[in-house]
Amino acid sequence: MAITAQLVKELREKTGAGMMDCKKALQETNGDIDKAIDFLREKGMAQAAKKADRIAAEGLAHVEVDGNAAVLIEVNCETDFVTKNEMFKELLTKIGKALLNNKPETVEEALSQKVEGEETLETVINSAISTIGEKISLRRFTILEKSDNGVFGSYLHMGGSIGVLTLLENTNEEEVAKDVSMHVAAVNPRYISRDAVPEQEVEHEREILTQQALNEGKPEKIVAKMVEGRLGKFFEGVALLEQAFVKDPDVKVKKYVEDKGASVEAFVRYEVGEGMEKREENFAEEVMSQIKK
């Protein structure tokens, strides 16, 4: 497989390794990005495997709460100009309320449900498209439901470029739940606890760390013990409760929450456009093309 400059650039962004090291890793793995990341980590050339895709599409995340139910949504548009449009912001609220009223399981189901009289949610969005003049789409949503003894916390970074919804039980302190949401926005954990990390993922990390230690010349008889110690750092990177709390780094999130008598039941974090490809266009040319219309 031909190793393109774009492929090398992508690997550099994901690992922070040098250009020539990235090129060699891709050559050794026949252009497979994931295998190249493992190769670099085993050689000690990458700090971590950054799995997140490039941020691409414009839009906003939004949280709507109604009693014991709350929803986090992501709605995409073509330019960030539209995210400042009041009609677009009103549309987010309308979509959020519709989702909580109907509680659909998929985007397709949500779009087909009636919102206002005989109008479906898809019709409402299409009406906004015709007025605003840009493609607008409901990309995803997550609905959480709590008990009467629970509380929701939400946080929108930069007005909605990142949105987090958190559910804590055994507390009614909204400030605590909001603090946890701010932590999730900043640190981006993928699981609540170390027990929630899939065994397959843990085993894969163990294999990487083992090979890394052997490549460092460590004696085989102490490698296993070293690896288990290093796995602790891995769990701190992916598990919320294992992480140092952003507002008080001397305390782990687990202790912060437990000291309040609470427990984290669920969290969801959306970063607008993650995993979507962005059009590579010249911004000045785009503006001029609009002016000429």
Predicted pLDDT of residue 232: 94
Over residues 31-40, mean pLDDT: 91
Task: Answer whether residue 213 is part of any domain.
Answer: no
Task: Tell me: do 18 and 95 sit in the same domain.
Answer: no
Output the domain CATH number for residue 270.
Answer: 3.30.479.20
Helix (H), strand (E), coil (C) string for 195-240 = HHCCHHHHHHHHHHHHHHHHHCCCCHHHHHHHHHHHHHHHHHHHEH
- Percent residues over pLDDT 70 in the chain: 90
Q: With a cut of 70, say whether residue 56 has pLDDT above it.
A: no
Predicted pLDDT of residue 42: 86
Predicted pLDDT of residue 151: 98
How confident is the model over 143-173, as pLDDT tens digits?
Answer: 999 999 999 999 999 999 999 999 999 999 9
Q: With a cut of 50, say whether residue 54 has pLDDT above it.
A: no
Task: Tell me: do 39 and 81 sit in the same domain.
Answer: no
Predicted pLDDT of residue 16: 73
Task: Answer whether residue 215 is part of any domain.
Answer: no
Q: With a cut of 90, say whether residue 2 has pLDDT above it.
A: no
Over residues 101-105, mean pLDDT: 96
Task: Tell me: do 66 and 28 sit in the same domain.
Answer: no
Q: What is the distance between the alpha carbons of residues 220 and 140, in angstroms, rounded to a whole number?
A: 47
Q: With a cut of 70, say whether residue 11 has pLDDT above it.
A: yes
Q: What is the distance between the alpha carbons of residues 78 and 59, in angstroms, rounded to a whole number?
A: 8
Of 9-23, 104-118, 190-204, 246-260, minimum mean pLDDT range: 9-23
Quick one: which of 104, 27, 33 has its CA closest to 71?
104
Task: Answer whether residue 219 is part of any domain.
Answer: no
Domain extent for 186: 58-191+263-277
Q: With a cut of 90, say whether residue 276 has pLDDT above it.
A: no
Task: Answer whether residue 115 is part of any domain.
Answer: yes
How confident is the model over 208-259, as pLDDT tens digits?
Answer: 999 999 999 988 889 989 999 999 999 999 999 999 999 999 999 999 999 9
Predicted pLDDT of residue 289: 55
Quote the pTM value. Answer: 0.77
Domain boundary among 51, 67, 86: 51
Distance from the first to the final alpha carbon of the chain? 43
Predicted pLDDT of residue 52: 34
Q: Answer yes or no: are the C-beta atoms of 163 and 62 closer than 8 Å.
A: yes
Task: Tell me: do 72 and 186 sit in the same domain.
Answer: yes
Task: Tell me: do 153 and 43 sit in the same domain.
Answer: no
Number of domains within the chain: 2
